[in-house]
Amino acid sequence: MCAAFDGALDDYIQHLRVERGLSKHTVDAYAHDLGGFGTWLVGEGASLDEVDERRVAGYLVTLSQGGLSARSQARALSAIRGFFRFLVQERRHSCDPTELLEGPRLLRQLPDILNREEVVRLLEAPTGPKPNRTRDRAMLHTMYAAGLRVSELIELDLADVNLEEGFVSALGKGNKRRIVPIGAHARTAIAEYLATVRPKWARPASRACFVTARGTAMTRQGFWRLLKRYARAAGITKPISPHKLRHSFATHLLSGGADLRSVQTMLGHADISTTQIYTHVSGDHLKTMHERYHPRG
């Protein structure tokens, strides 16, 4: 990449990391997408000052011809748009070349979920007094009770869990913290783990709520493995992932009568349109309510 592009990209990444407080995962994704655009510009013999709408469109065509999915193309355009808006704001570029560009049209996929019976079987799968099963039971209950992302679950500190009041404090995307209630089942599972397992495993200076037998914090990969193991034990044959529990949490709340704004707050969605996809999933419940209560149902 050219020096001008490299310098501008470094400043933008620093802006995302420090001023906007985005997570390392998100910042790395921006850096990857913009790095690909910079490499393409070098191949085209174009400088940063020469980037216009035609060049950005040409890059998107190249991505499409290379077999990149529509979702990945949209993410690349979003990264480039954010980059040039930053440069315009900093008066380092005359205009935003992406202003009139539209990304590829995406088909919104309905999230696949576990039904209530499957969730119950999954939560009951880690049975017995073994310490790892006590911890795993607490983690599964916490994730489903609060609709946490896996990163939020494994990053919970002891101070983030208030069993007396019945809530967890989750640090979500953009370093935004939210308070989410947890029910009696999750509180009981967490209390048992904190009383019988964590004191034996955690290192003296550890603040992590959920730890391994080695005293280290649970990892994303570690939780993914245990989730798959318990899904098999529960006889769940559909594909499983930590995010599927979060989808199930949201859908079951809406099906049970929760309002959309409350679910948005509990999920930590900045935009309610992100939450609205779950209203389609819970359409069967709405149909049942209509048939039961509408005078002409």
Catalytic residue set: 149, 173, 243, 246, 269, 278
Amino acid at 158: L
Q: CA–CA distance from 283 to each of 106, 204, 251, 279 (Å)?
A: 21, 49, 10, 6
CB neighbour class for 295 (10 Å; exposed up to 12, middle 13-18, buried from 19): exposed
Helix (H) or strand (E) holding 79: helix 70-89
d(CA 169, CA 235): 32
Question: What order do you get walking across the sheet with 167-171 strand by strand?
Answer: 161-162, 167-171, 177-181
294: CB partners within 8 A, 6+ apart: none
d(CA 236, CA 233): 8
